[in-house]
Amino acid sequence: MRTTLDPCSGTATTAGRSLADLPVNFRVNRRCNAACKFCFSAFVDGPDHLPPGDAARVVELLREAGAGKITFAGGEPTLLPHLGDLLRCARAVGFVTGVVTNGARLAALVDTHGDAIDWVALSLDSGDDRVQAELGRGPLGHVGRTIALADRCHAAAIRVKMNTVVTDLTRNEDMTALVRRVGPERWKILQVLRVAGQNDGRVEPLLISEVQFAAFVARHRPLARDGIRVAAEDNDAMIDSYVMVDPSGRFFGNTDGVHRMSRSILQVGVAAALAELSFDPRKLDRRGGRYDWGRGASRTAA
């Protein structure tokens, strides 16, 4: 395996297309400034992140396999020093780009690399800062910071999504007014999920039933009248419906409630690594994972 590579070349073919126009989630690092009790991305068995050149090569290989959209997540991806370079690499090879973030260093990233970001998904699980802190999201003030960051992204013509994990602490909450204020195009509502070896031992008091989750979703369906797409995913919808890459450059899935890893994409290639998991594109389509993700308004003509 090569440990250092040239920077992203800015070219990619689509030969093979084993990921034909699929979205890919690249969890680029383990490090995070929060300690969310429900987080299932601890990745305790690997490094914090790949060397920059290797990470860029993973991006190129995913695009060569035909993937159409890449979302950088973590950990907290904005803590990765070379995230901006990866965004520019992804843009150079033709990806629509996204970042899932709690906002840690998002403002600086938008200032320096905003022209390479199509989507930002802001993580916000409650309108009550005290609940956010109890969940482990961080110190008080997260709600206000998220609103300010949403405004900043809107001003930069970056398309905004919002991600909310529904737990036993929040299942009775009405977040309608807050979601309207943030103004996302899509609001992804996720049922808290237990993954063995990642969040077990912490998450159990937060688990909710499918009925409780459905009630939360139903309470917020009227947001569609405001042009906000509510995309709800219960535990079954999340399993095997994502193409995910871990900080080591391996595909991973959550079959049977535990992370299962492929061999490294850098070692065996995209097609061979993906074949080692149980990804089901039909489940991705059933949860609405393919949608109009075209570039932000300021980039449409680019």
How many domains in the chain? 1
Across 28-126, where does the E strand assignment appear? Answer: 69-73, 96-101, 119-123
Q: Is residue 200 part of a domain?
A: no
Strand ranges for 36-116 from DSSP E: 69-73, 96-101
Nearest to 266 by CA among 23, 28, 54: 54
pTM of the model: 0.92
What is the share, in percent, of the chain residues with pLDDT greater than 70?
91
User: Considering the domain boundaries, does residue 172 fall inside one?
Assistant: no
Would you state the pLDDT for residue 13?
58
Q: What is the pLDDT of residues 156-178, one digit of tens each?
A: 999 999 999 999 999 999 999 99
CB 100 within 8 A of CB 121: yes
**Is the pLDDT score of 139 beyond 80?**
no
> Any idea what the CATH number is for the domain that residue 124 is in?
3.20.20.70
Amino acid letter for position 244: M
Close Cβ partners of 74 (under 8 Å, ≥ 6 residues apart): 27, 28, 29, 30, 31, 32, 41, 80, 100
88: CB partners within 8 A, 6+ apart: 8, 113, 116
Residue 90 lies in domain: 23-162+242-293
Let me know if residue 113 belongs to a domain: yes
Report pLDDT digits (tens) over 255-271: 776 778 999 999 999 99
Higher pLDDT, 108 or 242: 108
